[in-house]
Amino acid sequence: MAKRARYGGLRARRYPVGRGTRRALGAVVFALLALLLARGLPGPWQAAPRATPLPLVTATPVPPDRVAVQTPAAQTDIPAPGFATPDWGEQGEGLVTIPGLDWYAIQLGAYGEEQAAREQARRYTGRGAAGYVLQDGAYRVLAAAYATPEDAETIRGRLHDAQGMDTYVYHLSADTVELSVTAAQGQVQALRGGFDVLTQTLRQMHRLSTDLDAQRMDGATVVLAAQAMRLEVEDRQRALSEALGSSTSQVVTGLGVLLETARKGLETICAQNTQETVTLTSNIKYQQIDLLCSLLRYMRQLTAQQARRGVPIQGMGAWG
């Protein structure tokens, strides 16, 4: 006969479980399993379901300025929000005129070799002259450029009387150029605005150097004026890029180069020490002549192209 275990002086008794109780417990367990399976919840023996990755879909790019919208009646194209195509106006023929240029430069000397011209230019930049070397049949050293022959002759006379310098007035000129343009009205206006700001910049640079030499303006005021001019040029650059940025026309790309020349020239002026007025006026005169000569070459190229064709220059084709 088996011995009964004792715990703390008490005897452990076994109580038999009846068949009815066992059947009740089994029914409860079965009901719980059925409930879990019906809800799809993972049990301790069931692995959690894995998410099936979605297939990678590559979307075909849609031009940003047009989005096709499917309506019940038909498919209609409307501008996408934030990417609307600018309304440049009606397409048509336009005439863009680049006014002729007439400037009169004080020439300090003309040389057959560039090195000799550069050496003389360096001697005069420290005295407020531009010291610009122009290769135009000879290497010409230019001190400044003036809008009228009278102004240039006055300065030449002063240099001779005060310093005994023998100088020469050299005429820089280009004929008026007319461009026949087929484009939208807004695009023609962007082109005209670019050429207008170039001629304005030339005159403003001339005024700043003249007023600085005559002490009608100080260095700080001159630099502030140059900063305002630079902002205006940058505005014209943006307008040209927005209207005609995709054009490969010689007229448009050449104008873009000229605007960048003006912007960089003004940027160097703005970076000058306002206290060093002699260096400042020398730099302004240099940048003015550099922009002037760049514009002259551009206009002469267009004039030569017109002469070869015998018809007004076609600025560019139709722009959409």
Highest mean pLDDT among 73-77, 91-95, 264-268: 264-268
Q: CA 175 from chain center: how many Å?
A: 30
In a domain, 60, yes or no: no
Whether the model pTM is above 0.85: no
Structural tokens at position 216: 């009608």
In order of 139, 153, 294, the CA distances from 144 in angstroms are: 15, 12, 15
In a domain, 81, yes or no: no
Mean pLDDT of the chain: 78
In a domain, 278, yes or no: yes
In a domain, 71, yes or no: no
21-46 b/e (C-beta count within 10 Å ≥ 16 → b): eeeeeeeeeeeeeeeeeeeeeeeeee
In a domain, 122, yes or no: yes
Range of the domain at 277: 93-316
Lowest mean pLDDT segment, chosen from 46-55, 67-76, 255-264? 67-76
What is the distance between the alpha carbons of residues 199 and 224, in angstroms, rounded to a whole number?
19
Query: Residues 19-38: what's their mean pLDDT?
Result: 54
In a domain, 16, yes or no: no
- Non-local CB neighbours of 113 within 8 Å, separated by 6+ positions: 139
CA quadruple 118, 121, 122, 125: dihedral sign: negative
In a domain, 84, yes or no: no
Give me the pLDDT at residue 161, please.
94
Query: Residues 85-104: what's their mean pLDDT?
Result: 81
| Number of domains within the chain | 1
Instruction: Give per-residue pLDDT as tens, 224-257.
Output: 999 999 999 999 999 999 998 888 888 999 999 9
Contact 136, 168 (CB under 8 A): no
Residue 94: pLDDT band with limits 50, 70, 90: confident
Q: Quickly count: other Cβ atoms within 10 Å of residue 313's Cβ.
A: 18
In a domain, 175, yes or no: yes
